[in-house]
C-alpha cells in the first residue's frame, strides 16, 4: 500500500495541478510519519487497520472466536489496532509463557485507560499498575499475603469447607424447587457464588431475597454491562459523540463509585465488630495486620487504609464473582452434556467417600473429579482474552520488537487449544489430565494442569485461584455425589456463549433431584428446629 501511494504521488507531481501536488506531498509525508512511528509494530503480521476504528470492525460477534480465527491466518503473534491503541495478540502456550513469565516485568503494566482509573477510587489492584498507583506493589502484596493466609491455614480451610458447603446446600435446595424464569439456573448459581465471596471477604451471608444482596448483584451487572462502552470511549475518543457510549461511561463511573462505597461500608462494619481472636474473613485479617497490638483502638485505622481494604475487597468480590459464576455455569453445563463423565465421578465419590459429603481434603483422592474440572476450565476459560497487559518499557517478544505502551492481549482460549500441547484440542476429554503413579494408581497429572491458563500466570496471575478452584471442586463433587442432573427439555443447555468479555453459556434450564440417601441433608424434617 505504501508503494501504491508513492506511485500516485509521483504521477500527481508530474501533472500541472499545484493543488493536487500539495495534497499528494502532504499525504506522502503523513504516510511516512505513520510508518516511521509504527515501524516495529507494522513488522508484526496482521490485518490492515481502518482509520479511527482500527480493527474493531473485524471483531464481530464473539470477539475471542474472531481472534482465534485470526490466529489460524496470521500465526501465534499478530498485531491489531483497537481504535487508537496498538496491540499485539499472543495465541500459543510458549509465547504467553515468554510474555508473562520471562518478560513479566516489562509487560506487567495495564493500558492507561481512563475507565480503569474509575474502579475502586483509583485503588484497584486489577486495573492499575505502579505507573498510576504508587502503592500498587503494597496493595498487591497485601492481597496475595491475605489470600495465602487462608490457603495455608488449616483452621481457615476447615472454615472454607463449612462455608462453601452451606452455600451449596442452599443452592441445591433452590435449584430443586425449580423456577419459571428464563435464566433461573443462572440466577441461582450467580447468587450462590456472590454469597460465597461475600462470606469469605467480609463474613456476611445473605438470604437470596435480601434487598441489600440483590442491590449488590444488580450493581455488579451494571458494572460489566457498561465497562465495554466506557473502554470504547478510551480507545476511540470520537465515540463520545454517541449518546449510548457517553451514557455507558457515566453509568460505569456512577456504578464504580457506589460499589466502592458499598465495600467501604462493609469494611467499617468489620472494624466496628472486630475481634482479634476471630479472624474469619479476609477483611478481618487485613484489619488485624494494620496493628501490632490487637488491644489498641482499631477505630484509629486511617481513612486511607480503610479505602485500600475496601478496594482490595472490591477487586476480590467483583472480579471473582464474574469469573467464578461463569466457571460454575460451565461446570453445570458440561455435567448435563456429558452424563458418562459424571458417572465416572459418581463411582469415584461413592468409592472414596461412601456416605460422607466431600471436603477440600479429598481433592487428591478424587483424580477423575479434578480432571473433569480442569477439562472444563481448559475448554471454557471464563476470560478467554486475559485482562490486557501493557509494555512498561521497550522489549522483545516472539522475535519482534515491542515498543513501550503497546497493549498485549493473551488469548487464553487459543492457548488452551494449542495443538502442540493438547491432542485433539476441540474434544472434551477429561482423561487427558490423568496419569499413573509408580504403583499404577490413577492420579491427576499436575504438569498438564499447569498448562491450563484459565487464571493467567506470572505477576498478574489471579491471586484468588486457590479459592476459586476450591469452590469449583466442592460444587462439582456435591452435585455429582448428592444429585441427579437432567436438562430441561424446554431449554436444554448448549455450548453457545452470551456476548461479553466473560464467557457465559446461553440461558438454560436444569432439572435437579436430590438422591434419596441425601434427602435428610437437603430436606430436613419440617418439625426439626
Residues 195-208 have pLDDT tens digits of 999 999 999 999 99
Q: Is 462 annotated as a binding residue?
A: yes
Instruction: Give residue for cell 489492584.
Output: 125
Give the gyration radius of the chain's Cα atoms. 26
**CA–CA distance, 197 with 320 (Å, rounded to integer):** 8
Helix H segments across 98-236?
114-117, 136-151, 154-177, 184-202, 211-235
Tens-digit pLDDT profile for residues 312-357: 999 999 989 999 999 999 999 999 999 999 999 999 999 999 889 9
Per-residue CA distances from 424 to 2, 276, 480 (Å): 42, 53, 26
pTM value > 0.75? yes
Average pLDDT, the chain: 88
Weakest mean pLDDT among 44-48, 276-280, 282-286: 276-280
180 pLDDT exceeds 60? no
Tell whether the torsion through CA atoms of 293, 295, 297 and 303 is positive or negative: positive
**CA–CA distance, 431 with 340 (Å, rounded to integer):** 12
Task: Supply the CATH classification number for the domain 38-522.
Answer: 1.10.630.10
481 pLDDT exceeds 70? yes
Q: What CA dihedral angle connects 485, 450, 224 and 48, to 10 degrees?
A: -120
pLDDT band at 380 (very low <50, low <70, confident <90, very high): very high
Tell me what pLDDT residue 524 has. 54
What lies within 8 Å, CB to CB, of 138 at 6+ separation is none
431-461 b/e (C-beta count within 10 Å ≥ 16 → b): ebbbbeeeeeeebbbeebbebbbbbbbbebb
Cβ atoms of 157 and 171 closer than 8 Å? no
Distance in Å from the first CA to the final CA of the chain: 79
Q: What is the mean pLDDT of residues 125-154?
A: 80
Tens-digit pLDDT profile for residues 411-464: 999 999 999 999 999 999 999 999 998 888 899 999 999 999 988 888 888 888
DSSP state letters, 264-279: HHHHHHHHHT--TT--
292 pLDDT exceeds 70? no
**Most confident of the ranges 7-11, 43-47, 170-174:** 43-47
Q: What is the mean pLDDT of residues 110-122?
A: 90
Residue bearing the bigger pLDDT, 37 or 63: 63
What lies within 8 Å, CB to CB, of 159 at 6+ separation is 280
Residue 492: exposed, middle, or buried by beta-carbon count in 10 A (0-12, 13-18, 19+)? Answer: middle
Weakest mean pLDDT among 2-6, 65-69, 106-110, 517-521: 2-6
H or E element: which one contains 18? helix 18-37
Tell me what pLDDT residue 131 has. 79
Residue 407 backbone dihedrals phi, psi, to 5 degrees: -80, 135
Cβ atoms of 506 and 497 closer than 8 Å? yes
Per-residue CA distances from 187 to 192, 328, 507, 516 (Å): 9, 12, 10, 26
- Supply the DSSP symbol for 357: P
529 pLDDT exceeds 60? no
Cell of 76: 501465534
183 pLDDT exceeds 70? no
Per-residue CA distances from 350 to 337, 372, 484, 490 (Å): 21, 16, 14, 32
DSSP state letters, 234-294: HH-GGGGGSHHHHHHHHHHHHHHHHHHHHHHHHHHHHHHT--TT---SHHHHHHHHT-S-T
527 pLDDT exceeds 50? no
What lies within 8 Å, CB to CB, of 286 at 6+ separation is 142, 146, 309, 312
Tell me what pLDDT residue 221 has. 92
Tell me what pLDDT residue 528 has. 43
Domain coordinates of the chain in residue numbers? 38-522
Cβ atoms of 388 and 408 closer than 8 Å? yes
The distance of Cα 362 from the centroid of its chain, to the nearest Å, equals 26
- List the beta bridge partners of residue 436: 442
pLDDT band at 359 (very low <50, low <70, confident <90, very high): very high
Tens-digit pLDDT profile for residues 225-263: 999 999 999 999 999 899 999 999 999 999 999 999 999
pLDDT band at 178 (very low <50, low <70, confident <90, very high): confident
Amino acid at each position: 500500500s505504501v508503494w501504491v501511494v508513492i506511485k500516485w504521488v509521483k504521477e500527481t507531481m508530474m501533472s500541472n495541478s499545484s493543488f493536487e501536488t500539495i495534497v499528494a506531498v502532504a499525504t506522502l509525508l503523513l504516510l511516512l510519519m505513520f510508518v516511521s512511528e509504527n515501524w516495529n509494530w507494522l513488522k508484526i503480521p496482521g490485518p490492515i487497520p481502518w482509520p479511527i476504528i482500527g480493527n474493531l470492525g473485524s471483531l464481530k460477534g464473539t470477539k475471542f472466536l474472531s481472534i482465534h480465527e485470526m490466529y489460524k491466518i496470521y500465526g501465534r503473534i499478530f498485531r491489531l489496532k483497537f481504535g487508537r491503541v496498538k496491540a499485539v495478540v499472543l495465541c500459543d502456550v510458549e509465547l504467553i509463557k515468554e510474555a508473562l513469565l520471562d518478560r513479566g516485568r516489562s509487560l506487567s503494566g495495564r493500558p492507561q485507560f481512563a475507565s480503569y482509573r474509575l474502579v475502586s477510587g483509583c485503588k484497584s489492584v486489577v486495573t492499575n499498575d505502579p505507573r498510576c498507583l504508587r502503592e500498587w506493589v503494597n496493595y498487591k502484596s497485601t492481597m496475595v499475603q491475605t489470600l495465602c493466609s487462608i490457603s495455608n491455614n488449616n483452621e481457615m480451610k476447615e472454615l472454607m469447607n463449612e462455608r462453601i458447603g452451606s452455600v451449596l446446600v442452599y443452592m441445591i435446595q433452590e435449584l430443586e424447587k425449580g423456577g419459571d424464569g428464563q435464566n433461573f439456573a443462572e440466577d441461582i448459581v450467580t447468587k450462590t457464588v456472590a454469597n460465597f465471596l461475600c462470606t469469605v471477604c467480609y463474613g456476611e451471608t445473605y438470604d437470596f431475597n435480601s434487598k441489600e444482596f440483590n442491590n449488590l448483584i444488580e450493581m455488579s451487572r451494571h458494572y460489566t454491562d457498561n465497562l465495554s462502552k466506557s473502554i470504547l470511549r478510551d480507545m476511540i475518543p470520537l465515540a463520545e459523540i454517541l449518546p449510548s457510549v457517553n451514557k455507558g461511561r457515566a453509568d460505569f463511573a456512577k456504578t464504580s463509585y457506589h460499589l466502592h462505597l458499598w465495600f467501604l461500608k462493609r469494611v467499617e462494619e468489620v472494624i466496628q465488630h472486630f475481634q482479634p481472636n476471630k479472624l474469619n474473613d479476609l477483611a478481618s485479617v487485613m484489619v488485624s495486620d494494620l496493628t501490632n497490638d490487637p488491644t489498641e483502638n482499631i477505630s484509629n485505622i486511617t481513612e486511607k487504609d480503610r479505602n485500600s481494604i475496601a478496594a482490595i475487597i472490591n477487586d476480590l468480590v467483583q472480579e471473582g464473582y464474574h469469573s467464578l459464576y461463569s466457571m460454575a455455569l460451565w461446570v453445570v453445563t458440561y455435567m448435563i452434556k456429558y452424563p458418562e463423565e459424571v458417572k465416572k465421578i459418581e463411582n469415584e465419590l461413592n468409592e472414596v467417600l461412601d456416605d460422607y459429603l466431600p471436603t477440600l481434603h479429598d481433592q487428591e483422592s478424587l483424580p477423575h473429579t479434578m480432571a473433569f474440572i480442569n477439562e472444563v476450565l481448559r475448554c471454557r476459560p471464563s476470560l478467554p482474552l486475559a485482562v490486557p497487559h501493557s509494555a512498561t518499557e521497550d522489549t522483545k517478544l516472539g522475535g519482534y520488537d515491542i515498543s513501550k505502551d503497546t497493549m498485549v492481549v493473551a488469548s487464553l482460549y487459543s492457548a488452551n487449544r494449542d495443538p502442540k500441547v493438547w491432542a485433539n484440542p476441540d474434544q472434551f476429554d477429561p482423561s487427558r489430565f490423568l496419569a499413573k503413579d509408580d504403583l499404577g494408581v490413577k492420579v491427576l497429572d499436575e504438569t498438564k494442569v499447569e498448562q491450563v491458563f484459565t487464571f493467567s500466570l506470572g505477576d498478574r496471575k489471579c491471586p484468588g485461584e486457590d479459592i476459586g478452584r476450591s469452590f469449583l471442586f466442592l460444587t462439582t463433587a456435591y452435585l455429582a455425589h448428592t444429585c441427579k442432573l437432567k436438562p430441561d427439555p424446554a431449554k436444554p443447555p448448549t455450548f453457545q456463549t452470551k456476548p461479553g468479555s466473560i464467557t457465559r453459556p446461553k440461558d438454560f434450564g436444569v432439572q435437579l433431584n436430590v438422591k434419596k440417601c441425601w434427602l435428610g441433608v437437603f430436606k430436613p424434617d419440617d418439625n426439626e428446629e
